[in-house]
Chains A and B, each alone.
Chain A
Amino acid sequence: MPASELLSLLSFGEGGWGDELLKGALLTLALALVTFPFGIMFGFLLALAQRSGGRITRGASVAFAWVFKGLPELLTLFLVFYGAQIALRQLFAAVAPGVVVEIPAFAAGVVALGVVNASYASEVWLGAFTAIPQGQYAAAAALGLSRRLTLRLVIFPQLLRHALPGIGNLWMVLLKDTSLVSVISLTELMRMTQVAAGTTKQYFLFYITAFVVYLLISAVSGELFAHLERRSARGRERDA
């Protein structure tokens, strides 16, 4: 196939797959953007539970992070997707027999990637906590701040700065992991690429395109996080 025809396969509109791929890329971004805050916040709660929870909450949090850091992401996705399907089916069989339930792939993706992300995020937060000197807590206590206010006004702003590099990494990992959700037929970038490649038989063209698109998204996010890190270090040049 001549080069011009190959390129027209990537064009937008009739006969080209450009618009489909763009839609896929937007869905990839949407999936990552929905999952990320959930993962980071849940990870923070896991870290808090591991630091200051009771015996049971601490144990549960450690076990949770251990399991989801140890399982392959693909398997976690299957466990969530098929597991929730079976659970819902049994639930519906009791209340409304005959009703067929399908778990939306997007939701399954958010939950599966979210719990994995949270497990790694808990590690990042715990690391950031250890970087904060005990004197900060003592000083906050001396000022009469409550535990809640200490966390919010004194610890958290410093925590964020220490956690930022780790959080940037988590975003990169998450972005790449979204490609797995193509396996349960969510039409994100990877799935769209598979469809386009399979239909046109131009496997190399489409997979290399997807490769480049992922790389671009990674590069832009990398720049963004580098900028955020510089920004969060404002006024702290002495430490650098």
Chain B
Amino acid sequence: MTDLIPTLTGWLHAVLTQALGVLFTPFGSPELWERYGGRIVSGLGITVQIVVITCSLGAVLGLASSLALLSRRRWLRAPFRAFSYSLRGTPLLVQLFLVYYGGLQFRGTLETLGVWWIFREAWYCVLLTYTLNTAAYQAEIFRGAIKSVPTGQWEAARALGIGYWPAFRLVVLPQAMIVALRPLGNEVVLMVKASALAALVTIFDLMGEARYAYSRTYDFNVYIYAAVLYLVLVEITRRVWLRFERRLTRHMLEIAQPPG
């Protein structure tokens, strides 16, 4: 049972490598894919992992921050606003390097705090930075969506004797989610694209593997492989999201349905 997941991913890897080898026959020599195809498919897996992990963690953190952003208490609102504003106003690359290289300098302090393991590994630096970055954007998305729910909905829920939290969870949040869904989908697509920066801090994601293969062969076709795979990944994300959106809005009128 414990071997099931590695076996399955092993198969998936082999099947994908074979199938893409056929697809990519017009680009570059067969030997190029034979040598680097397996690595590129593994890189694709790393890219997907980065996106899934950071977007989910970012959603939890973003939703929590959006509540703080909407809070009436200034002392609660202000730090989250500063956090969200500064992460949205600076390049992700700077944030990533700040965590990855900047962390090295504070080894002693970080060790005593017991968080050195995060800053020691590029992988955890990427996860940390991306999670915070996407949380900042998602917080804004959730904030806008929650605000878009008419106050009457709150008041009606309260009038029915529903408490603050149940009213939020059962009445407001479902309506806000419908508004938030489309920008959230865009954010996931942006994260797929942004994940490529991980290659600059030694992570062998799709971009990292393409760079590695290019540095060894100087064969431009490896970038074509990566480009096709990124486009496919983005298109799949988009379609899955559209499906998701249609499911969540199925109670609404036909004409209000998103096209596609």
Contact = CB atoms under 8 A, between A and B. Distances in A.
B43 to A, nearest CB: 12
Interface of A: 66-67, 69-75, 78-79, 82-83, 86, 172, 176-180, 182-183, 190, 193-194, 197, 201-204, 207-208, 210-211, 214-215, 218-219, 222
A219 B82 CA distance: 12
B234 interface: yes
Contact of A72 (B86, B89, B105, B207): B207
Interface residues of B, number: 36
B124 interface: no
A83 B91 contact: no
B168 interface: no
Interface of A is mostly: helix
B235 A70 contact: yes
A83 B219 CA distance: 10
A202 B106 CA distance: 11
B227 A210 contact: no
A75 B86 contact: no
B90 interface: yes
Interface string B127-156: 000000000000000000000000000000
Interface stretch (B8-16, B71-79, B169-177, B193-201): B193-201
Contacts of A82: 214, 220, 223
The CB with the most chain B CB atoms within 10 A, among A66, A71, A172, A202, is that of: A71
Given A74-B207, A215-B86, A190 B227 contact: no
B190 to A, nearest CB: 9
A73 B193 contact: yes
Contacts of B226: 75
Going nearest first, the 4 A-B pairs with the smallest beta carbon separation are: A218-B89, A72-B196, A204-B102, A203-B101
Interface stretch (B26-34, B56-64, B92-100, B248-256): B92-100
B230 interface: yes
Nearest to A85: B220
Contact of A67 (B90, B92, B197, B231): B231
B94 A180 contact: no
Contact of B105 (A69, A204, A214, A219): A204
